[in-house]
Amino acid sequence: MDVNWVQTKPIVMNEALLREAVRGQLSQELDDCEAIEEINFSEILQLQLQFRRIVKIDHLFGFKSLTRLEINNNHIEKIEGLDCLVNLIWLNMSFNNIEKIEGLGSLRKLEVVNFTNNSISVIENMDTLEKLTHFNIANNHIGQLDNVCYLSKFVDLFSLTLQGNPVAEDDSYKLFIAAHLPKLMSLDNRILDENTKKEAFIKYQTVIGILKFKELKRDNEAEVEAEVKLHKNAFVEFLNGPYLFKSLFKDDLKEERLNSVPEVAPLLEEFEQQMVALCEKIFEIGLDEHKRRESEVSTFVSAQKEAMTDCRQKMSEISVEFERKHKKVITELKQLSDPNLVRTRINHHNDEITQHCENMLTVECQLVRHLENSAS
């Protein structure tokens, strides 16, 4: 087998790799390596995973406190496995093989994002990154100036790096971005001065006005659509007004006759007022009940995810401890020459294997009981 091929073979991120990386980081701070034998992922704030030939992100669920992740210079093709890193502030995924921005929905605290030297052609799927201040996507395949307008929603965006993309070759590149991102202070590591911003505003003020009008219109349409969807999900459609009452008389040929009778018209009007008032009460109750149901479902799902994460963490810790003992046993067996001692040690280790299986099963049973109790 070619040794060079083995050394450069891409790998999937796993428990062992993460522990090795964390132990390497901590060993630089501590002289006694034995002092870091027990590693608690939940206490790690920064994680360095550069130049490790990683092709797939995985097993990060234990890093609940992580604020900075350096996973640049690998072979990653897809942004995934980051949902649990809800405290992440800094993400560096430069020099990988990423083609699409995705998988960032849970990272609401992200401030610094680096996608330099990938194969990304569209800026998208970053809506939840409300605290974004620095975005580096240099040397990718961004080709449309209009796509950069997507970044206008990030009010705290301070620095943007786009050099090395086809879009940067456009003659209007600098002024276009300065006009559409008026709060941006740095473009391609250079300060955007006030003269540039004024020139950009003069050139694009009409276009920007039209875009803002269209955006406002879309926002209003989106709000109406969201409200209609909410009413439908809460089963209170058309109950916040006279719509239901009017529908009772739709296509009713006798309605006009009833309204023409002097004694009946006031009764119909009073009936409409009473029915509308009742519908509005039902409408408010329905919305309150829907909100309560959504809260309960959210709490249930959150509890399930937390239970699953804790279960994985416990199983991982049990497996790591067993693997450590297993390696120790193998080393001891290689040093023994007495067949009786070897047989005794093997029997003892078989008991340890049985105990390991029972420990794993116990954790699984605890998870099942928890899920059953939360569902009842």
CATH number at residue 86: 3.80.10.10
Is the pLDDT score of 375 beyond 70? Answer: no
pLDDT at 99 over 60: yes
Provide the domain limits for residue 366: 264-375
Q: Is pLDDT above 90 for 79? A: yes
Give pTM, 2 decimals: 0.61
Assess whether 62 and 134 both reside in one domain: yes
Give the pLDDT band (50/70/90) at residue 245: confident
Q: Which residue has the higher pLDDT, 18 or 272?
A: 18
Q: Do 229 and 221 touch, CB atoms closer than 8 A?
A: no
On whether residue 230 sits in a domain, the answer given is no
Contact 84, 61 (CB under 8 A): yes
The two three-digit tokens of residue 4, written as one number: 């060079």
Residue 232 lies in a domain: no
User: What is the number of H-type helices and E-type strands within the chain?
Assistant: 9, 10
Residues 273 and 150 in one domain: no
- Residue-level pLDDT at 151: 95
Report if residue 245 sits inside a domain.
no
Nearest to 14, CA basis, from 71, 54, 72? 54
Q: Is the pLDDT of residue 124 over 60?
A: yes
Of 146, 178, 212, the last residue of a domain is 212
Whether residue 106 is found in the same domain as residue 197: yes
**pLDDT tens digits, one per residue of 28-77:** 666 544 445 567 888 899 999 999 999 999 999 889 999 999 999 999 99
Question: Chain centroid to CA 89: how far?
Answer: 13
Of 212, 230, 250, the last residue of a domain is 212
In a domain, 200, yes or no: yes
pLDDT value at position 67? 96
Same domain, 199 and 310: no
Same domain, 81 and 204: yes
Residue 200 and residue 268 in one domain:
no
Same domain for 208 and 272?
Answer: no
Name the more confident of 44 and 12. Answer: 44
pLDDT > 50? residue 235: yes
Q: How many domains does the chain have?
A: 2
Of 180, 196, 212, at which residue does a domain stop? 212
Domain assignment present for residue 104? The answer is yes
Residues 295 and 175 in one domain: no
Q: Does the residue 224 lie in any domain?
A: no
73 and 192 share one domain = yes
What are the pLDDT digits (tens) for 103-121? Answer: 999 999 999 999 999 999 9
Judgement on whether residues 54 and 196 belong to the same structural domain of the protein: yes
First vs last Cα of the chain: how many Å apart? 56
Q: Are 67 and 32 in contact (CB under 8 A)?
A: no
Domain assignment of residue 236, yes or no = no
pLDDT confidence of residue 31:
54
Share of the chain above pLDDT 70, in %: 90
Spatial separation of the C-alpha atoms in residues 207 and 213, rounded to whole Å: 10
Q: How far apart are CA 87 and CA 91, in angstroms?
A: 11
Under the banding of pLDDT at 50, 70 and 90, the label for residue 247 is confident
* The predicted structure's pLDDT at residue 5: 35
Residue 225 counted as domain residue: no
